[in-house]
Structure 1
Amino acid sequence: MRVESECGGSADVRAALSRLRRTSGLPVAFGGLRYGTGRYRISELTGARTAALHGLAVRHGNGLGGKAAELTRPFAVTDYHASAVISHEYDAAVAAEGLCSVLAVPVVVRRRVRGVLYGALRHPVQLGDRPLSAAMEAARELEQALLLQDEAQRLLSVARQPAAADPAAWEEVREAHGDLRALAQRVADPVLRHELLAACGRLAAASAPGRGRTEDGHRRTEGGPGRPDGPVLAPREVDVLACVASGATNAATAERLGLRPETVKSYLRSAMRKLGVHSRLQAVVAARRAGLLP
């Protein structure tokens, strides 16, 4: 199943709109991502009184959002319905929600417009620097989330490839496993996060097939991944071991996972104790034998 698409990422859009509304002082925020060619679907709303804007398909160049996408820069109008600088294909939906002053900010990832965010008031006021800056920051937040999704899909494509006999190719799979586990902690979309962790389970299972795993590669117990008769490690302990397996130092592991170096050491000591070993290298070898790492 491919969960990421141009119209995916609803959790990330919601988070960006929540930030926009909270920091801009604008009571209404809405937006969505690109789908198809030259179209953007309004998929998320906050502060709305009606569902008039929900599902609205905005074409590139049309209306306020379409113009912002076309110009690849923020655009605002004080009175949406009276504005002579935008087209008016969507006046009915805007009027149904009672909006007047509206701004739109494009979401640009790698020089490509991937979506549009809006903020609005229900009375005519010239929007100043504060709401514009807040909207731009929310767009940047969403851009980073979409970059994470893109990287997740790249790593998933590696994870879906059959295990290769070539040692160099197998090392690439192992590196992808570590990257996927680290990335999963930073992804807001729960569906995508589940797919990332499921891919991690499949990669770990590839080195030790037939060991009674669940669909997401975890033991059939509450404790965590591994074979049924093997040690049970906490997810964060596996995350740390995956980084260690790639050659990362404790400091690099901490930065990669968003943890403190002392916390990394604690997880590593706990994992070593559960695996019955006394060194980082032995821990990685034991984890691979237990089907916890590829």
Structure 2
Amino acid sequence: MRSLLRPRDTDVLRAELRRVAVDGGVPVLFGGEVRGDALLLSEFVGTRTGRLRGLIVRSNSGLGGASMVEGRPLSVADYRNASTITHDYDGPVLSEGIRSVLAVPVIVDGVPRAMLYGAYRSSAPVGGRAADLMVASSRRISDELRIRDEVDRRLRLHEAAAAGAVASERVREVHAELRRLAGVAPELRGELERLAGRLTGDSGTTDVPHLTARELDVLAQVALGCSNAEAAKRLSLRPETVKSYLRSATAKLGARTRHEAVSTARRAGLLP
């Protein structure tokens, strides 16, 4: 699925084709995106019929297919009689009166991502300034697509990190609620604590500080951002009692603040 923030890649193709038409005086220009081993022609300047529109060009087929595979510009001065290419697309090409053609691939990180074609309705080869302009356009498109790809990659990383943070917070909420329920349902405490324990990480060490069940209960609430008063209300304890448990847990963990105590408990695998 295309990113909502990413412009259509075909828009940059269209703009470059129009630039070559104006600056280079090339009468017929067309191109499109490459997906896998297939090129879909979608952008046109100077065509007279609609027979090229929507044409799918396969790799190694025709001039464009050969250019895709070789990863470099290729041209023919007499398309109808050219023996160096296949003639799978003679019908739509010749219907435009095209005789000489230059195909230029847009390469991004070694992979063809688009194709540009410039053509004349005479046998004069597409060279000189026109060819230079098309190659320059190909490079600009390549740079633009590379930048867009990098923006998309960073957005995906950001979205994955954000999704991971949300998931982690939900796990912490479930863990804290299980421990809270264990405190108000003594007959289920063992099972609830076992379930809560399955949500915590494994520190990989054997010298994990031993915290009492109530100290862990309090830390789990503090990890959610609760104040002492809020934790007390949720755990049905007095604020002074919560403060005492928190002070004891902080000392056992060798921490100086409540936030450091939570971080240390997570690294030790006591909290998720």
Q: Which residue of structure 1 lines up, in the alignment, with residue 78 of structure 2? A: 79
- Flag structure 1 segments of 5+ consecutive residues without an equivalent: 167-294
Q: Which residue of structure 1 lines up, in the alignment, with residue 22 of structure 2? A: 22
* Counterpart Cα distance in 2 of 1:151 and 1:65: 27
Mapping 1:57-72, distance limit 5 Å:
57-72=56-71
Alpha-carbon distance change, 54 to 3 in structure 1, aligned in 2, over 3 angstroms? farther
User: What is the Cα deviation at residue 62 of structure 1?
Assistant: 0.9
| Structure 1 counterpart of 2:129, one-letter code | R
Q: Which residue of structure 1 lines up, in the alignment, with residue 10 of structure 2? A: 10
* Counterpart Cα distance in 2 of 1:73 and 1:100: 20
* Counterpart Cα distance in 2 of 1:44 and 1:132: 18
Q: Which residue of structure 1 lines up, in the alignment, with residue 50 of structure 2? A: 51
Mapping 1:1-294, distance limit 5 Å:
2-3=2-3, 9-35=9-35, 37-161=36-160, 162=162
| Structure 2 counterpart of 1:10, one-letter code | T
User: What is the Cα deviation at residue 151 of structure 1?
Assistant: 1.3
Per-residue Cα deviation, 1:34-82 (whole angstroms, up to 9, x for no partner): 12x3111111101111111111101111111111111111111111111
* Counterpart Cα distance in 1 of 2:108 and 2:153: 15
| Structure 1 counterpart of 2:13, one-letter code | V
Give runs of ≥4 in structure 1 deviating > 4 Å: 163-166
* Counterpart Cα distance in 1 of 2:113 and 2:165: 39
Per-residue Cα deviation, 1:70-118 (whole angstroms, up to 9, x for no partner): 1111111111111111110000000111111110001100111111100
Q: How many residues align?
A: 162
Q: Which residue of structure 1 lines up, in the alignment, with residue 185 of structure 2? A: none
2:135 aligned counterpart, secondary structure: helix
* Counterpart Cα distance in 1 of 2:146 and 2:157: 17
* Counterpart Cα distance in 1 of 2:92 and 2:17: 19
User: What is the Cα deviation at residue 126 of structure 1?
Assistant: 2.2
2:68 aligned counterpart, secondary structure: helix
| Structure 1 counterpart of 2:33, one-letter code | L
| Structure 2 counterpart of 1:124, one-letter code | S
Aligned-pair identity in percent equals 38
| Structure 1 counterpart of 2:44, one-letter code | L
1:43 aligned counterpart, secondary structure: strand
User: What is the Cα deviation at residue 164 of structure 1?
Assistant: 6.2
* Counterpart Cα distance in 2 of 1:60 and 1:135: 20
1:42 aligned counterpart, secondary structure: strand
* Counterpart Cα distance in 1 of 2:122 and 2:91: 16
| Structure 1 counterpart of 2:43, one-letter code | E
| Structure 2 counterpart of 1:25, one-letter code | G
Per-residue Cα deviation, 1:176-221 (whole angstroms, up to 9, x for no partner): xxxxxxxxxxxxxxxxxxxxxxxxxxxxxxxxxxxxxxxxxxxxxx
User: What is the Cα deviation at residue 155 of structure 1?
Assistant: 2.1
* Counterpart Cα distance in 2 of 1:49 and 1:26: 14
* Counterpart Cα distance in 1 of 2:119 and 2:133: 12
* Counterpart Cα distance in 1 of 2:147 and 2:47: 29
* Counterpart Cα distance in 2 of 1:68 and 1:31: 13
User: What is the Cα deviation at residue 25 of structure 1?
Assistant: 1.8
Alpha-carbon distance change, 163 to 49 in structure 1, aligned in 2, over 3 angstroms? same
| Structure 2 counterpart of 1:155, one-letter code | R
Provide TM-score, normalisation by structure 1: 0.52
Alpha-carbon distance change, 3 to 52 in structure 1, aligned in 2, over 3 angstroms? farther
Alpha-carbon distance change, 83 to 165 in structure 1, aligned in 2, over 3 angstroms? closer
Per-residue Cα deviation, 1:1-49 (whole angstroms, up to 9, x for no partner): 5348xxx5111111121122223221111001112x3111111101111
